[in-house]
A and B are shown apart, each in its own frame.
Chain A
Amino acid sequence: DTAVSQTPKYLVTQMGNDKSIKCEQNLGHDTMYWYKQDSKKFLKIMFSYNNKELIINETVPNRFSPKSPDKAHLNLHINSLELGDSAVYFCASSFRGNTEAFFGQGTRLTVV
């Protein structure tokens, strides 16, 4: 059983499109995250979310929005995709701040 799973693993789309990446965790964690890894391998937090609070990294464009239907899922919606959005997006989960974060396998987004 995969602890944190993301779909799709690869996503190729045209500029201007809207797309979503799904994330599910079966670890019973209450906090989920989205990270972006750019072409230089730099990893940066985008959002953290539990059932009470969304913490947004202020550098994230508002075209990106997390949506959580329940504690086990945190999907990432991206509107009006731009070339610069091409990256690998990782979902992660933890139990608040008290445990390590476990990551999904990543979604490689390519905007053409």
Chain B
Amino acid sequence: AQKVTQAQTEISVVEKEDVTLDCVYETRDTTYYLFWYKQPPSGELVFLIRRNSFDEQNEISGRYSWNFQKSTSSFNFTITASQVVDSAVYFCALSEAERTGANNLFFGTGTRLTVIP
């Protein structure tokens, strides 16, 4: 069965600090997809990144970067030089789309990030 673990329930950092959000997953499938979503205080879910299981290349997008390591089943998310607008709940998610044919997302419990000005 699939599982996504985000061990960090809440993190607080001071503005401009770097912060890493951890995500560990479990799946029996060899083909799967990993995601990060952001849920700001306004409540919507904002897509950040999608990574397939065959692509272990790290990705950087502005202040955001992601480190995918199949050997440790981890897909960690780093925010560099954090800003107050980064305050949100961040969700890691897993999809076993190849098997199910649909993008059913299994979410972790989320990490609430608070950036203090």
Contact = CB atoms under 8 A, between A and B. Distances in A.
Interface of A: 31, 33, 35, 40-45, 48, 50, 53, 55, 88, 90, 92, 94, 96-103, 105-106
Contacts of A42: 107, 109-110
Given A98-B97, A100-B35, A43 B103 contact: no
Interface string B73-117: 000000000000000010101010110111111110110000000
Contacts of A105: 43-44
A96 B102 contact: yes
B107 A31 contact: no
Given A41-B110, A100-B50, A94 B103 contact: yes
Nearest to B49: A100
A41 B95 CA distance: 19
Contacts of B106: 45
Nearest to B110: A41
Interface in B33-51: 33, 35, 37, 39, 43-45, 47, 50
A50 B109 contact: no
A42 B112 CA distance: 12
B100 A101 contact: no
B25 to A, nearest CB: 15
A108 B62 CA distance: 33
Contact of B97 (A88, A92, A97, A106): A97
Given A42-B107, A42-B109, A45-B105, A97 B44 contact: no
Nearest to A57: B104
Nearest to B35: A100
Nearest to A40: B109
Given A41-B89, A43-B107, A97-B95, A55 B50 contact: no
B89 A97 contact: no
Contacts of B50: 99-100
Contacts of A33: 102-105
A97 B43 contact: no
